[in-house]
Amino acid sequence: MIKLVKKSTAKKTTYCAVTYRAGGADKFATCPKTCNLKPDSSKGAEEIDYSYLDAVSDSVPRGGVSFTYSHFNPSFWKHKLKAGKTAINYSAKNIADMLLHSFVPVVINVKETFWKTNGKSENVNDFKIVRCPAEYNNSNCRDCGNGKPLCSRIDRDYAIGFTDHGTYKKKAGSQTEDGGCYATAGNVKLHWEATANGAEAGKDEIQLLKFAEELPYGTVLRHHIAGDFGKV
């Protein structure tokens, strides 16, 4: 099930188009079962929905850009990284995982104390992690990169770092306890629950392609404020 928003009012995605994807009774059913941010009570998905992956890849607004994030291993989707298509970023579990998958666009969540040099970037094993600009300069995804958000750049040679946030951010960095996904609380939770309860009817891929086609010229589209490519 998918929820489609033509113009977000959230601070970070103001004026961007956004989507949410859920799996009915279990919101996390489209997320991989290996994701350590989902709660123990959720099983998650075991495989990719390739028809939906194709649709996300093709769902780019006219004259605009689109991007998303996935906790699924890049081996499932790296063939989709092409100019003019949706940029997919791998959400790494930790620093080691990030370095292992630095051959694709990669992002990572870090603690506030991670930013020690200038508050904007750090280097780990000669690999640069650039902090999301929205965290320190009052910008948003539409403004980022002068209209081409850093997360939409598939040829970049650095990771994007997001400081742990949300009600359960302490869990997000835990090495022993699952959970911590920011989408389990606040406004994101409300939107995601509405999605799980059937906010839109019909096949996700058909709705998404139509949605992207009808967006205004030059729109920035962020797929999956919550949710992933999993097959339900």
Q: Cα–Cα distance between 120 and 95 in angstroms, integer?
A: 17
Q: Which residues, other chains included, contact 176 with Cβ-Cβ below 8 Å and sequence gap of 6+?
A: none
Do residues 164 and 110 make contact, with C-beta atoms less than 8 angstroms apart?
Answer: yes
Higher pLDDT residue, 43 or 102? 102
Residue at 92 is within a domain = yes
Residue at 67 is within a domain = yes
Residue at 36 is within a domain = yes
Strand-pairing partners, residue 32, are 45
Residue at 54 is within a domain = yes
Residue at 232 is within a domain = no
Q: Which domain holds residue 215?
A: 2-226
198: left (phi over 0), alpha (psi -120 to 50) or beta: left
Dump strand ranges (E) for 96-211: 106-110, 121-124, 127-131, 159-163
CB atoms within 10 A of CB 187: 11
Each residue's pLDDT tens digit, 112-133:
999 999 999 999 999 999 999 9
Q: Cα–Cα distance between 151 and 22 in angstroms, integer?
A: 22
Quote the pTM value: 0.88
Q: How many domains does the chain have?
A: 1
Quickly state the pLDDT bin for 194 (edges 50, 70, 90): low
Residue at 20 is within a domain = yes
Residue at 231 is within a domain = no
Each residue's pLDDT tens digit, 160-182:
999 986 544 454 444 444 556 86
Quickly state the pLDDT bin for 190 (edges 50, 70, 90): low
